């Protein structure tokens, strides 16, 4: 697979010197260690375990976890930089780090008891991958139409049901899982549980054979009277819907970072190849039509990057970011799809083959409009925000 160039490097003026150094280290690792394995992992549908071990070793799996609990004590913006740089080489790598940090770790940092933090955050920082289990067959955009139930037995709950499309599931050791402890109360019965892989009655089922981000595992979860201790309830019983909503708002910024990384990677490949591919006696980069397409895509990526960075900065500053997160996810997914499509066209017939990297990025891009809230759901959130609807 061709190596990425520095052509479309993010503007360093947006970053502090410390952020520049962190970004550079992630970028170098991605290009040196991940890039040579991308095609193999995509074809096998399996992310190399040694790379995940490297993510832990580099402290990218505990970016916001305090140093006292084994993490690096960084901020949300650092997570975004890591996701973007990994995704520029392989979006599958980006989503692994994204789900673990922006969904699982963040939920524990905000809602876990001190005992839960001491039990789980050091593991999540050191060697235990986390997964976020909300979706079901009948609960996608209508995320709170959960059929999975949690039956209260005093000192423990028994969970029954089936979860679908759970990222990181094959490798994860801890699952942030949502079930309804009081179905009669509707969404107000939804409760968040910390489910360990070894709990009785819990099983990771079939791995999905996906169109894109194939190396990232996506599996079903089977709960057959899965016994979860009461002390593993995250937050309060019946407040799982709040945890899910607020966590996903942050996760959408992470998906935005994944999408701008993907778009950057696609544009880098397109720019490089446009200078190599000759038609009518000259490189196609010399044709104004191609120049304008590349220029338009570069402009869109720059705008998308600023949206992602702004939303992340708002989150770190403790400012409202609901609208900005929705806009970020919606726009970046559109930009990534267009950038990947253009890259395929720039490569011509080669772009339609698996011998070159851009067809994979084109497949990877599609998920951006689907997971962690479809584009239509983002537009609904944006419309409510600008119209003042409740």
What residue ranges in 49-120 does DSSP mark as E strands? none
How deeply is 16 buried, as exposed, middle or buried, from its count of CB atoms within 10 A (0-12, 13-18, 19+)?
exposed
**Do the beta carbons of residue 326 and residue 253 sit within 8 Å?**
no
The domain limits of the chain are 12-128, 131-238, 242-387
Of 130, 153, 255, 138, nearest in space to 200 by CA: 153
- pLDDT attached to residue 238: 97
- What is the third-level CATH fold of 131-238? Butyryl-CoA Dehydrogenase, subunit A; domain 2 (2.40.110)
Return the CATH fold of 242-387. Butyryl-CoA Dehydrogenase, subunit A; domain 3 (1.20.140)
What secondary structure does DSSP assign to 340-383, as a single string? Answer: HHHHHHHTGGGGGSTTSTHHHHHHHHGGGGTTTS-HHHHHHHHH
Respond yes or no: is residue 114 known to be catalytic.
no
pLDDT digits (tens, 9 = 90+) for 274-289: 999 999 999 999 999 9
CB-CB contact of 212 with 140 (8 Å): no
CB atoms under 10 Å from CB of 58, counted, come to 13
Given CATH 1.10.540.10, say whether it is the number of domain 12-128.
Answer: yes
Q: Could you give the percent of the chain with pLDDT greater than 90?
A: 94
pTM metric for this prediction: 0.95
pLDDT digits (tens, 9 = 90+) for 368-385: 999 999 999 999 999 999
pLDDT at 329: 98
When computed from its CA atoms, the radius of gyration of the chain, rounded to whole angstroms, is: 21
Proportion of the chain above pLDDT 70, given as a percent? 96
Q: How many Cβ atoms from other residues are within 10 Å of residue 279's Cβ?
A: 11
Give the chain's residues under pLDDT 50. 1-7, 10-12
pLDDT of residue 140: 86
Q: What is the pLDDT of residues 186-245, one digit of tens each?
A: 999 999 999 999 999 999 999 999 999 999 999 999 999 999 999 999 999 999 999 999
* Cα 144 to Cα 149: distance, rounded to the nearest angstrom: 12
pLDDT of residue 143: 82
């Amino acid at each position: 697979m061709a190596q990425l160039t520095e052509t479309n490097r993010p503007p360093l003026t947006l970053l502090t010197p410390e952020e520049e150094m962190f970004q550079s280290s992630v970028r170098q690792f991605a290009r040196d260690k991940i890039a040579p394995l991308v095609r193999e992992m995509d074809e096998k549908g399996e992310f190399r375990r040694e790379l995940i071990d490297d993510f832990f070793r580099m402290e990218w799996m505990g970016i916001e976890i305090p140093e006292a609990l084994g993490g690096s004590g960084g901020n949300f913006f650092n997570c975004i930089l890591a996701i973007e740089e990994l995704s520029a080489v392989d979006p599958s790598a980006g989503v692994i780090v994204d789900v673990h940090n922006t969904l699982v770790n963040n939920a524990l940092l905000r809602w876990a008891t001190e005992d839960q933090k001491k039990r789980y955050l050091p593991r999540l920082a050191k060697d235990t991958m986390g997964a976020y289990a909300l979706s079901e067959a009948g609960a996608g955009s209508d995320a709170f139409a959960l059929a999975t139930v949690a039956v209260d037995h005093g000192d423990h709950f028994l969970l029954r049901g089936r979860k679908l499309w759970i990222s990181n599931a094959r490798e994860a050791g801890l699952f942030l899982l949502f079930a309804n402890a009081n179905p009669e109360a509707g969404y107000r019965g939804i409760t968040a549980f910390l489910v360990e892989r070894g709990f009785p009655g819990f099983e990771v089922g079939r791995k999905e054979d996906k169109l894109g981000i194939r190396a990232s595992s996506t599996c079903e979860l089977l709960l057959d009277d899965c016994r979860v201790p009461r002390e593993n309830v995250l937050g309060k019983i019946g407040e799982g819907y709040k945890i899910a909503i607020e966590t996903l708002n942050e996760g959408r910024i992470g998906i935005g970072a994944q999408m701008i990384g993907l778009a950057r990677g696609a544009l880098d490949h397109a720019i490089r190849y446009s200078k190599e591919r000759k038609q009518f006696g000259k490189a196609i980069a010399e044709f104004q039509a191609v120049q304008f397409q590349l220029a338009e895509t570069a402009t869109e990526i720059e705008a998308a990057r600023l949206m992602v960075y702004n939303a992340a900065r708002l989150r770190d500053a403790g400012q409202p970011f609901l609208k900005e997160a929705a806009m970020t996810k919606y726009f970046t997914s559109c930009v990534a799809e267009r950038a990947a499509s253009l890259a395929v066209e720039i490569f011509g017939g080669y772009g339609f083959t698996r011998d070159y990297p851009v067809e994979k990025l084109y497949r990877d891009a599609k998920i951006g409009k689907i997971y962690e809230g479809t584009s239509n759901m983002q537009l609904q959130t944006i419309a409510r925000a600008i119209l003042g609807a409740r």
